[in-house]
Amino acid sequence: MRELLAVRGLQLTKSLGQNFMHDGNQLRRIVEAAELSKTDKILEIGPGLGPLTELLLEKADEVLAIEKDARLVEFLRERFNPQLKLLHADALEFLKQKPREWSNWKLVANLPYSVASPILVELACGSRAPGKIVATLQIEVAQRLMAKAGDKDYGVLTLLVQLDFEPRDSFKIPKGCFFPEPDVDSACVILDRRNAPLLPECQREAFVKIVKRAFSQRRKMMFKLLREDWPVEKLEQAFAELKIPVQERAEKLTLTQFVHLTGELSS
């Protein structure tokens, strides 16, 4: 990989999170986790020099890769045309501006660290979300995605993604598996889309509002924080109905409790 970059005169850009995985064992492990078949459609974000792309093309029916760096787009076109569908774009902006039906797709990607969380939130919400997500991220983001109520990593990102996805597994990837080597270790997470939504689509906006407000100040009781958006009487009734102590902090409430609270406050 170092030689290839040197031959083409490519210098990696830190702001784009360009740390490319070169470890073949880890790449194969990611592909195995995705459980691919020849009927699968795959979305890959940040393909870089294409080591994961190559394996995906071997296993899947269709691969759409989104790459922001024009220099890498040129290289990928030379390497994989016409087999690879390649889009030169900022993935986050593309996902925001062009809502698309991804429900028959799988996301399999080594996501750029700098935008991994917003990309996941943008992509993983609602009925249009992919059927499976297998994503490599910096380890602290992965821990948030896999967290449960009461864990120190449990928070807004956990709940926004787990509303539609069930965390199935994860595995650590040492920083030495990347070039250039990043400052932190990474982890690959495997998330499966839930078979049925946990709440009606019309209540999604309220769920997001509740979760963000409840975690806006982690040390404060969530009841006091929610008073900024809902009448005290309605909150008291909802908390009593769900047997949630008014002194409880957001980090102690399970996803199910947040879903039920959303239903009570939306009625």
Same domain membership, residue 170 and residue 49: yes
Using alpha carbons only, how large is the chain's radius of gyration in Å? 20
Residue 15: pLDDT over 80: no
Question: Which H helix or E strand runs over 178?
Answer: strand 178-179
How many structural domains comprise the chain?
2
Same domain membership, residue 235 and residue 117: no
Same domain membership, residue 181 and residue 209: no
Same domain membership, residue 240 and residue 174: no
Residue 177: pLDDT over 80: yes
Same domain membership, residue 44 and residue 132: yes
Q: What is the pLDDT of residue 84?
A: 98
Tell me the sheet residues that pair with 1.
Answer: none
Task: Tell me the two tokens of residue 41.
Answer: 């459609």
Same domain membership, residue 141 and residue 86: yes
Mean pLDDT to the nearest integer, 181-188: 93
Low-confidence winner among 43-52, 154-163, 175-184 (lowest mean pLDDT) = 175-184
Given 193, 222, 239, the domain boundary residue is 193
Q: What is the pLDDT of residue 2?
A: 65
Encoded amino acid at 178, one letter: F
Residue 267 makes CB contacts below 8 A (sequence gap 6+) with none
Same domain membership, residue 219 and residue 96: no
Please give the distance of CA 46 from its chain centroid, rounded to a whole number.
13
The pTM of this model reads: 0.93
Residue 135 makes CB contacts below 8 A (sequence gap 6+) with 107, 108, 109, 110, 111, 116, 120, 188, 189, 191
Q: How far apart are the first and last CA of the chain?
A: 57
CA distance 267 to 92: 34
Mean pLDDT to the nearest integer, 3-29: 75
Share of the chain above pLDDT 70, in %: 94
CA distance 166 to 132: 10
Q: What is the pLDDT of residue 181?
A: 87
Same domain membership, residue 178 and residue 161: yes
Residue 136: pLDDT over 90: yes
Q: Is the dihedral of CA 50, 54, 56, 62 positive or negative?
A: positive
Given 153, 169, 193, the domain boundary residue is 193
Confidence of residue 255 (pLDDT cuts 50, 70, 90): very high
Same domain membership, residue 239 and residue 176: no
Same domain membership, residue 140 and residue 178: yes
User: Which residues constitute the domain of residue 18?
Assistant: 2-193
Same domain membership, residue 16 and residue 147: yes
Mean pLDDT to the nearest integer, 1-16: 62
Q: Is the dihedral of CA 202, 204, 207, 208 positive or negative?
A: negative
Given 170, 193, 216, the domain boundary residue is 193
CATH of the domain at 112: 3.40.50.150
Encoded amino acid at 233, one letter: E
Confidence of residue 26 (pLDDT cuts 50, 70, 90): very high
Same domain membership, residue 251 and residue 129: no
Q: What is the pLDDT of residue 179?
A: 86
